[in-house]
A and B are shown apart, each in its own frame.
Chain A
Amino acid sequence: MNRFAGWSERNRWIWSALGVALLWLVLAAATARLTLESLSGVAQSASFLVLPALGQMFVVTTGRGNIDLAIPSTITLAAFLSMNILGGSDAMLPACLAAIAAAGLGIGLVNAVLVVRLRIPAMIATLGVGYVLATAALLANRHFTSYVVAPSLAFVANRRMLGVPVMVIAAAAAVLAAGFILRRTVYGRLLSAVGQSLRAAELSGVRSGRIIASAFLASGVLAALDGMVLAAHAGGAFLEVGSPYLLQSVGAVVLGGTLISGGSATALGTLTGAFLLVLLVTAMQVIGLPIGVQEILEGVVIVLVLALSGQTGRARRSGATR
């Protein structure tokens, strides 16, 4: 038992994975309507959450309460951008990818400059940038023309390969890459150091500004890419397409076991956290809860998990050692 406590401390994703399994069993027993088919539907919806949640995870891990509140507007703006550029055909795909990447990087860069250079608290910087982006999306909406989805994007967003949604494969690949970066590269180690103690990291020689900036860049790019495929999935861009991802990106990160105080991240946990959150929402829909109650429960779950897990940023020492 003690060994499990130690293991689960190092692999915090297990709790959200257990949550998924439990919720799934309950739902399967309670209603006969959840099948393997609907599971892959849930997985597909979760995949759209996984991308921005991974970006949020990188930002949160830089510590000191850093958070990216510009994610929803980035998604919305990217959705409009991609639809407008592509106009329903694959001819402009390279240009579209370049534009989306540039938009994501640009937004990330602005956030990074505001936070790192000008020392504006991340939540306020990204909140302000988010509002500016919301206006950009409004303007893009005025010029929105095409509801035809380009075939290549439709493939990624809606098709299956060997019965598995392509988007799920893409999200899994992103999680693997993020996990690799976090656990196996120098960057992952320095990111964790900066998140645990900015002061200690700087005195050890870490160029903390670059590390923090790169996290915002990653978040911007991932959100922008997500907006692109989300538009393809929804068959068009609309103004509210990004808004659920404000709370849910934070929620997936927190539920997955990444420390909200920074310094320790788990990509796998963000995947299972996203899955749990989407499953929860799906379950509430299946049960037929009104939308208002769904929102209440979503908020309560995230606050409760945060309050109960005691993520105070202090190492829970027993687990980490034995």
Chain B
Amino acid sequence: MNGAMPPAAAEDGETAQAAPAASPPVIRLDGVSKSFGATRANDHLTLAIRPGEVVGLVGANGAGKSTLMRLICGLTRPDSGRIAIGGIAVDLDHFSPNAARAHGIRIVHQELSLCTNLTVAENFMLEEPAALLAPEPAWRERFGRRAKAQIEAIFPAAGLGADEVVDHLPIGQRQMVEIVRAAAGDGLRLLVLDEPTSSLDAGRSAQLRRWSRARAAEGVAIIFISHKLQEILDVASRVVVMRNGRVVADEPASRVTVTDLVERMGGHPHEGGAPAGSAARPDGEALVTIAAAAGLADHAITLAGGEIVGLSGLDGNGQRDFLHALLAAGRRHDRAITCRAEPGFVSGDRAGEGVFRLWSVLENIAIGASVDRPPLARLSPRAEQGLIRPLLERLRLADARLGANILDLSGGNQQKVLAARALLRGSRILLLDDPTRGVDVEAKAEFYRLVREVAAAGTLVVWYSTEDAELLECSRVLVFRAGRVITELRGATISAEALVGAAFAGEKPAATAGRAGATHRRPRGARLAPVISLIAVLAVMVALNPGAASPFGLDLLLGPALPVALVALGQMFVVGGSEIDLGIGPFAGLVSVLAATLLISAPLAGGAVILLAIGAYALMGTLIQARQIPSIVVTLGASFVWTGIGYTLQPTPGGSSPAWLAVLVDWNLPFLPTAAALLVLAALAALALDRARAGVVLRGFGNDPRALRQAGWSAVRAAALRFAIAGSFAAIAGLSLTAVNTASDINAGDSFTLLSIAAVVIGGCRLFGGSTAPVGVVCGAVTLSLIGALLGFLGISTDFNAAVQGALLLGILVLRTALSGSAAAR
């Protein structure tokens, strides 16, 4: 079928060139192929990019542009072919993103890879991987200056501070940061911009193009991918058109027009089957009605049984949301959207939301028949086989493979299994979410035939596809922009040209930039909540017992809070990595025992053992990350180890505090209670660590580990450091416990585990990682440890201590969910 391609066009990319011809190409791809399953994403592709060129790369959805970019950047390895950089052949086995970066190749991905919890300058730092603990006190200033200068160079007067947190920026500014960050590095030789202007307004887009031309004049090569063809013609010196994994046109930009490009991108050979529109059955029963009130279109839309309705438009303009809105409406009553039946759903993201990977093919299909049965009904494999067999024949799936694991099937056959699952459920509405992604041509053709059959039987098929060619299979196409249906094509009016035309017509970038401009700035009050609650608790206590306000009284009240606060700070770093540590309290207890026993009898050995214990903690972090096992079970198991060791060393409470340790907590400031001063010190230490380069990297890992790994940071090392920090804080907590109590008890730390988690939550950290708030956590820990004393003041039994702490933890989480839920609803 690929034979239908014009053969001449794919020959060689180095045709008309205006660039300095003497220097070798920055990158040269020679006969490069890459297949996913049986799909040839890149098919014998040859292309050379010379210094000083701006190459505009265009192609319809699914033409293979993204794969090409991933090959160039070392993210994907080609199946065959050669790549040369600067005239020197590349060893493809060792061509990684880091190697590409070393060659001066940078990419700006379509999806942003910024850590949203970090500032602009911090995100610039992440782009330059270094040793985690490499000392550079002034890195913040260095990257801040670089960010500022580079933003000004590309986007003059952007009004974008280097210290702004990315989460607070509108999407357009985020995209600017992403672009500048990649372009800013030293030694840039090739810059790949993948849809860089999708969220930029016209002015910023023009600035970017001006800058691109200027950089090219200095000898940098730039690949500019965009759906906005006017921009391409404006910025590029040369335009490359891709189709079906091949280069089909490669010409100087001055010689082509937008119409030429659209023509070359479209014009898919329609692969057999019934002519488009033949499946339309306008007489079908209306199965879905979408009122204008749903805000999806200007008018009401009715979809009927027998129709194949395609969802088209540029990627990410609300097609997927539309599918999910239909699915939700089928399950619950929805005022604006009516679904006559609960739809079946087939996703093209097979690994992420399709297959059940522990199951056989049979089970993967059979669940479709199970979902609507009563839970305690018996499964009958024989009856299921009887149900499934006719389906398999329709789908041409060899039933000899029914017992095979689902992952042993090719992508195309997996897709058939998912279709069979949805069909087995027997819904009259079938939703397809880009179902043929990564499926070979033949399997696609079979899938199209199946869809036609299903529709012919009276089912409504709603089909979102990222490949324009597939929409030719539809009887009706809804074209989306910015979340709304803007045009509708029917029957014979559906053609490749019409689809491309409708999607590109009247592109108004400013509109999208404005829409997506919402920010998530958290109200200042939320961040002050821990401080306010601490002051409130203190105020109540002083009101109940004025003696508490004296320095001595405060010291007495705050003393027990110190170890809790330290453990909580340790826990904060663990929670910052989306993990949880159930052994941190017992670990503090163990160090306390070590301090009261070994550290006195043999100070050197004692110190060494404590350091060793912290090393073991780091090792635990390494184990969790490297083996991908749940931290909760590992730390739970470890908690028994810590307790066991402590118990063996010291079966009954006792020991004493080393004299030097006691001195550390026994000094006096005239104006401040000692305990308060120590708490402030602890908070400052954690704050300093959190803001140091290593701390920032850890927060980055908590926010977006994929982005960090892509930038070249080691996840295992980060995990080791994270747990080493947690262990160190817990160890200091243990030492302070011994110093304050002048004795130790292995069980003294047990209650700290829950307290530390509660303090982290109260302190304002989110539980899904990347969020830290040292001051809040210390306030939270102090509040929690004061509650015991407060209950005493109120004459309530200390029995209620645990309940109050547990309820407080849950209450705050419930409150926070309720608040964020109502905010999202608005």
Contact = CB atoms under 8 A, between A and B. Distances in A.
A257 to B, nearest CB: 13
Contact of B376 (A131, A134, A186): A186
A137 B136 CA distance: 54
Contacts of A132: 802-803, 806-807, 810
A53 interface: no
A214 B375 CA distance: 11
Contacts of B813: 114, 118, 120, 124-125, 128
B371 interface: yes
- Of the candidates A67, A129, A190, A299, the one having the most CB atoms from chain B within 10 angstroms of its own CB is A299
A253 B810 CA distance: 27
Contacts of B405: 315, 317, 320-321
Interface stretch (A146-154, A155-163, A195-203): A195-203
Interface stretch (A25-33, A221-229, A288-296): A288-296
Interface stretch (A42-50, A89-97, A268-276, A303-311): A303-311
Interface string B775-813: 000000000000000000000000111110111011001
B822 to A, nearest CB: 13
Contacts of A292: 643-649, 651
B358 A196 contact: yes
A316 B719 CA distance: 26
The main secondary structure of chain B at its interface with chain A is helix
B637 interface: yes
Interface in B119-159: none
Contact of A135 (B403, B407, B425, B800): B800
A71 interface: no
A27 B78 CA distance: 57
B309 to A, nearest CB: 19
Nearest to A198: B353
Contact of B806 (A67, A131, A187, A315): A131
Given A260-B630, A260-B633, A296-B644, A196 B809 contact: no
B407 A315 contact: yes
A214 B425 CA distance: 24
A306 B644 contact: no
A263 B356 contact: yes
A321 B807 contact: no
A23 B345 CA distance: 50
A263 B358 contact: yes
Contact of A205 (B354, B375, B425): B425
Contacts, number: 236
Given A250-B633, A250-B636, A321-B405, A197 B356 contact: yes
Interface residues of A, number: 76
Contact of B630 (A114, A188, A261): A261
Contacts of B353: 197, 199-200, 203
Nearest to A202: B353
Given A119-B817, A135-B800, A310-B627, A128 B371 contact: no
A2 interface: no
B358 A264 contact: yes
A205 B369 CA distance: 10
A184 interface: yes
B408 A321 contact: yes
A127 B754 contact: yes
Contact of A200 (B355, B634, B637): B355
Interface string A87-123: 0000000000000000000000000001000111101
A320 B360 CA distance: 8
A299 B367 contact: no
Nearest to B815: A118
Contacts of B377: 185-186
A3 interface: no
Given A129-B810, A203-B347, A311-B629, A185 B376 contact: yes
Contacts of A65: 630, 632
Nearest to A122: B632
Contacts of A314: 357
15 contacts: A120-B810, A124-B809, A134-B802, A135-B801, A185-B376, A190-B375, A197-B353, A200-B354, A259-B358, A291-B647, A292-B647, A299-B637, A312-B628, A317-B408, A321-B403
Given A131-B803, A190-B367, 18 more contacts: A128-B754, A128-B758, A128-B810, A142-B799, A185-B379, A186-B376, A190-B370, A192-B359, A196-B357, A203-B353, A205-B342, A250-B633, A259-B358, A292-B644, A299-B641, A306-B630, A312-B627, A321-B408
Interface of A: 65, 67, 114, 118-121, 123-125, 127-132, 134-136, 138-139, 142, 181, 184-190, 192-193, 196-197, 199-201, 203-206, 214, 246-247, 250-251, 254, 259-261, 263-264, 290-300, 302-303, 306-307, 310-315, 317, 320-321
Across the A-B interface, the 7 shortest Cβ-Cβ residue pairs: A131-B806, A292-B648, A295-B644, A135-B803, A299-B640, A296-B644, A292-B647
